[in-house]
Each structure stands twice: as C-alpha cells, then as structure tokens.
Structure 1
Amino acid sequence: MAEADARIGGEASAAHAVEAIPARARRPWGRVALMAVVPLALLAGGFSYWQSLQGKVTTDNAYLKQDRVSISSEVSGKIVEVFVRDGERVEAGQLLFRVDPEPYRIQLAQTNAALAGAQADLTALSNAPALSGVDIAAAREDIAFARSQFERQRALWERGFTTKAAYEAAQHAVSQAQEQLRVAQAEQQEARARIARGAAVPDQDPRIAAARAQREAAELDLRRTEVRAPTAGRVAEADRLQVGQELMRNMPVLTLVKTVGSYVEANFRETDLADMRVGQPAEMRFDAYPGMVLKGHVASIGAGTGSEFSILPAQNATGNWVKVTQRVPVRIAIDDTPTRPLIAGLSIEATVFTEEKR
C-alpha cells in the first residue's frame, strides 16, 4: 500500500513538473517585451514633449507691469483734508487731498492790491503836467517875453539910454528862458518813457502786466492747494497722507497706479529670440490666478539686455570670463479682458507662439 501511494505521488510530481516547464519558458519573453516597451514609451513621451515645444517659447521670468504716477504737491503747506484711502479707485480730476489755502489767499489779496497800485500809478503818470506840455508852452512864452525885453534893451543900449548891466540882464533872461524850454522838453520825454509799452507786452503797461502776472501766479498757487488725480487709477501708499502733516513742494507723497494699459514684461533668453517677431500671439498664465489665462501679442522687443541697462553693468576687466545667457525684456500687450483684478508685479508664465498656428 505504501509503495502504491509513493508511486502515485511520484507520477503527480512528474506531471506538475511537465506543466511548469512551459510557464518558466514563457517568462523571459515577457521580460524582453517589458524592457522593449519602457524605452519606447520614454522615447515616445520625450518626442511628444519636444514636439509640443516647437513653435513657441516660454519663460516664467515675467511680471505684470502697470504705469505708476508719483503724486506730489506743487505748493508747500499743511495738509488739512484727505479724501482717498489706500487701494481706492479714482477717476481723472478727482480730489485727492487739500493743502491749507489760507496763506495763498492772503498772497492773492496782496497781488490784487499791487495791481490796483500799478493802475493808479499809470493814471497819475498819464495826467502828469510834464506830459501835457503845459511847461513847454510856458517856457516858450517866457522866451518870447525875454527876447522882446532884450530887443528893447539893445535898442536903448545902442542909443546910450540904458546901462550895460540892464542890457546883459536882458540877454541872460533870454538864455534862461531857452534853458527852461529844454528842461520842459526833457521832462516831457521822460514822462512819455514812463508810460511807454515794450515790444514784449505791446498792449499793456509793463507795471500792470507784471502785477497781473503776479496775481495769476497767486491764483495758480491757490488752485494747486487742491491736489487732483491726473489720470484714472488705484491709490497706493495713501497711508503717508495725514492731516496736519507739513508737505514740501514737489515731494512725492502718493502713488497712483493706472488701471488701464497693463502689460507684461517677459525676460526671455537671448537664444529664444531667433524666431520671435513683434505682433506674434502670446498667452499668459498667472501664478496668483491658476485658472485665468489671457491672450495677448508681442508689442516690442527690448533694445538691450537687462544687464546692459543695469546701474552697474557687468565688466570683464580681469580676463576671468564666464559666458552667461543674457535675458532680453519683451513687452507683451494684453488683449483679453481679465476676470480678476490685475496687481502690479504679479508673477506670470508667458508663452509666445512663433508660428502662425497655435
């Protein structure tokens, strides 16, 4: 019985071994197939990735740019009112803050008084006796009378009926009368010169013109106490405006970021510029807004690399030179309307399609 069981067990083991032989023989073929498929898949994936990069260049060294205007007061003084806060949107011409206007109102009153004084002086000069010619007429009458007296004394002197002293006194009176005429004529010319009008302001008296210019300057300073937005935009750094703060003339105290005309400045490698042209379509993805993709186009390509326009450009004076791929700023205009607020300085991934078809 034991021998029969052993024989049956041996036959079963032999049958299992015969069935296992084909299985072991198939395993090397599976490994070969796997080793062939994996490299082919990698090659296909690499080719697909390389193909996807053709016809476009991409950089993540790109940032959103918005034009900024530094707001300053053109007059000095104390801030008395502030009408905006940080982040607020304003329209062109909207009042931002006001400087104390009282000193400039007083200055305007002084210039008005100076203008009135100049007008009064002009009236007085126009009515001066020297300008009217009265003194000249009187001097001519004196000359006529002195000459008649001299002629009478000369006739008497020739007949011997007068003294030499009387004759010479009559002659001297004629000379004095003539001199008075010359003085009166000179005074008349001087009076005319005082009311003369120069070529620069032919229609106005110079004194009145100067007084009016001073009044206009005072009016301008008074208007400048109200600082208004030169363009539409968003207010930044408004926390620096405090009521009671003393402002200096032309010192920036506020920044206005324009909300229109936003653009992207993308710094592409110089090796990416071979096929890039102005007008080519572009695509922008924002790190801050992953779901927002905006379309645009290349507006301009920089005239120099970033290092060339830096404050301290790189110099190779030692001979230890290492070639570094330079970056060229490319300006990309935004064509789409953004669905989220654009903030200056946002990081962007910019792609320029160098072929007509995307």
Structure 2
Amino acid sequence: MADADPKPGSAAESQIAMDAPAPEQSAKRRSLMRPLLMFGLPLLIALVAGYLYLTSGRYISTDNAYVRQDVISVSPDVSGRIVAVNVKENQRIKAGDVLFQIDPEPYRIALAQANADLAAARVQVATMATDSSSAAADIESARAELTLAEATYQRQNELMKRGFTTRASFDAAVQDVAAARAKIATGQAAAARARQQIGSGGGSGQPAAIQVALAKRAQAAMNLERTTVRAPSDGVVSQTSRLQVGNITPSGVPALSLVVSDQAWVEANFKETDLDHMRVGQAAELEFDAYPGLKVHGRVQSIGAGTGSEFSVLPAQNANGNWVKVTQRVPVRIAINGKPPRVMIAGLSTDVRIDTGAR
C-alpha cells in the first residue's frame, strides 16, 4: 500500500523549512561583505604599506655582536716561588682578597739587610760629623800657630835687619809661617769634605747617605708586601691553571685573569653601510643566544674610530693590484641599561637591533 503524502503543516515539513537558508538573509549577508571587501582590504594593504614605508631604514640590526667585559691580567710585581694559592677557577672575589702568595723569606732577609745598611749609614754620618768637628778644631789650632809664627817672623825680620840673628833662624821663621798657613788650608778642605758628605739633598734635611739607605729600606719593605698578591677589583677569577704551589713565577708575567663582572657591554660589528643614521645615544634592543626570549635594552655608547681590519695584526694592503672591495665592519659599543636579569658572560653571541629614528 503506498505511503500517504505528508500533510501540509506536518513536523517533517517544518524541519525542512527551518534548515533551508532564507533567501533574504543570504542576500543581506552578500550585500554587507561586498563593500567590506571592496574598501577594507585595500585599506588594510595601504596601512601595511604605510607602516613599512615609515619604518623602512629606521631599524638596523646585526648578529655579529658579542658580550664584552674588562679583563685584568694579574701579574706579580716580584718573582719567587708560589707557597699558597687562595682562589679557584671561576671563583667570585672582592677587591683586596688574597689571590696567591710568593715565598716572603728572601724579601724578609733583604729588608733586614736594608735596616742594617740604614744603621750603618747613620753611624757613618755620626762619624763624619765628628770628623767635621775635629777639622774645625784643627783649623782653630792652625790659626793660633799661624799667629805665633807670624809674630816670630816679625821679630826675626827686625833682628835680621840689625844683624842680631842668623840666616837660619830667619828662614825657620819663614817656614813656620808657611807651614801654619798650609795646615789651615788642609783643615778647611777636610771640613768642607765632611760637610759635603754629611750634607742633605732633595730638601729633605737628611744626609745623603741616610736618604739612600732609607730608599733601599722602603724598596725592600714594598717588595716584601708585594709577595702577597691581592685582587685589584671585584670579579671572577679565570685561567688559574698557571698557579701551582711550588712553581716559580717571574715578575711582570700574567699569572691569572680577573673578569670584571659588573662592567659588561656589547660590541656589535655593523656594516659600514649601516652607519648613515646611527648616532650615539640611540636606543638598542639586545637578544642573546644563551637566553632565548630575554630582551635587554641598551644604548649606543660609542662608534669605533676605525674598522676592525685597521686594528688587526696584519691590516689589509689595498694599494696592491689584487685589491677587491669588501664591505667593512665598524665596532659599535652598546651600553646595557641597568643590571640584566641574567649573568652576562664574556663572549656570548648577541643580536642587536638599533632604533635610528630615520624618516
């Protein structure tokens, strides 16, 4: 038996009517999308193009950049055998901390010798002062003898004129006068020599011999103090492999390195074609390969006075016939604003982006 047709107004017919899109709503939706596509899309393209135009050339960036820190090469001022090492690799230290110590015994002996030399110099000066006083007394005695010899000469001269004395007595009187005068000259020379030996130099008021001895003692005391090598500033100790107890360390040769950790900056090597709008003080954004997601702000502190090749060990010789033009790079120093949230390790690879404010 054939199925009966659904009656108008049945539930199935109502559901079909609800599922079918109304022609009026579809037409209305199309009428709204048409102006949006006609005007909105070109406007969006214009806005993007305007932004690209305004920011084109404003930002310059490079990944040829690295974290830099001051590195101090610590070397002893005196040579000797290392008897104690107080630091380890990568240890953080404060200024004034003892790094290592050189055997002080030879320098204690040198200081004792310098003290003995100073005492001997003072004795020598005292002896010279006594000699000077003795020379002054000899001069006074010689002057008295000269006075007597001159009086005797005058008497012998008068007697010689009258013929009451012998020629030998007259000649003896003349000789006594000459001898007395020579004795005075000798005493004066001895006194002058004593005064010169005692005399001070350099306006210190100390005799020259004592000044020399004092200088030697000061040098010996300073050398003894320098057997204890201290940190010149805060930082991190590095390259301590050369510090071994028992090794002989020569003076002036670096024994370890000290990285000054609180003075980090970034050295970015920009192409010479990027320097047109770069100025000191411009803002910079720093990213580090070691710390993904970390962004640190800084500023351009200085622009290098020469390209990297100019300060290399073997600068390029562009005056030969094999010259090839190569874009040069100029080191730019980027100062870091404030204290970064992560530790700045010397040599970390960095991406630098500078806002030149162009256009």
With the shorter chain as reference, the TM-score category is 0.7 to 0.9
CA distance in 1, matches of 2:178, 2:306: 86
Deviates more, 1:303-312 or 1:72-81: 303-312
> Residue 303 of structure 1: which of 289, 305, 312 is its match?
305
Deviates more, 1:334-343 or 1:118-127: 334-343
1:151 Cα shift? 3.8
1:189 Cα shift? 2.1
SS in 2 for 1:258: strand
CA distance in 2, matches of 1:289, 1:333: 18
Alignment of 1:163 with 2:166, yes or no, is yes
1:170 Cα shift? 2.5
Alignment of 1:350 with 2:338, yes or no, is no
1:41-60 aligned at under 5 Å gives the runs 54-60=57-63
Determine the structure 2 residue equivalent to 1:147. 150
Alignment of 1:197 with 2:196, yes or no, is no
- Contact kept? 1:130, 1:191, Cα under 8 Å: no
Determine the structure 1 residue equivalent to 2:183. 180
Deviates more, 1:216-225 or 1:322-331: 322-331
CA distance in 2, matches of 1:192, 1:146: 29
Residues 308, 190 of structure 1: alpha-carbon distance in 2 compared, 3 angstrom cutoff: closer
Residues 179, 315 of structure 1: alpha-carbon distance in 2 compared, 3 angstrom cutoff: closer
Determine the structure 2 residue equivalent to 1:5. none
CA distance in 1, matches of 2:158, 2:324: 118
Alignment of 1:104 with 2:113, yes or no, is no
Residue identity in the other structure for 1:166: S
SS in 1 for 2:357: coil
Root-mean-square deviation (Å):
2.7
Determine the structure 1 residue equivalent to 2:98. 95
Determine the structure 2 residue equivalent to 1:26. none
1:172 Cα shift? 1.9
CA distance in 2, matches of 1:284, 1:129: 79
Unpaired runs of 5+ residues, structure 2, are: 1-44
1:186 Cα shift? 2.2
1:154 Cα shift? 3.9
- Contact kept? 1:67, 1:262, Cα under 8 Å: yes
Residues 320, 140 of structure 1: alpha-carbon distance in 2 compared, 3 angstrom cutoff: closer
TM-score, scaled relative to structure 1: 0.81
1:147-196: CA deviation from partner (whole Å, max 9, x where unpaired): 33334444444444433222322232222222222222222222222222
Residue identity in the other structure for 2:96: G
Determine the structure 2 residue equivalent to 1:224. 226
1:99-133: CA deviation from partner (whole Å, max 9, x where unpaired): 00010010001111111111111111112265562
Alignment of 1:214 with 2:194, yes or no, is no
CA distance in 2, matches of 1:181, 1:267: 84
> Residue 63 of structure 1: which of 42, 62, 66 is its match?
66
TM-score, scaled relative to structure 2: 0.81
CA distance in 1, matches of 2:344, 2:159: 112
- Contact kept? 1:130, 1:187, Cα under 8 Å: no
- Contact kept? 1:130, 1:184, Cα under 8 Å: no
1:39-86: CA deviation from partner (whole Å, max 9, x where unpaired): xxx9x9999888876521111111000110000011000000000000
- Contact kept? 2:277, 2:358, Cα under 8 Å: no
SS in 2 for 1:256: strand
Residues 95, 171 of structure 1: alpha-carbon distance in 2 compared, 3 angstrom cutoff: same
1:101-140 aligned at under 5 Å gives the runs 101-128=104-131, 133-140=136-143
Alignment of 1:253 with 2:255, yes or no, is yes
- Contact kept? 1:62, 1:348, Cα under 8 Å: yes
Residues 158, 54 of structure 1: alpha-carbon distance in 2 compared, 3 angstrom cutoff: closer
Residue identity in the other structure for 2:235: G
Determine the structure 2 residue equivalent to 1:81. 84
Q: Across the two proteins, how many residue pairs are aligned to each other?
A: 316
Determine the structure 2 residue equivalent to 1:238. 240
CA distance in 2, matches of 1:126, 1:95: 47
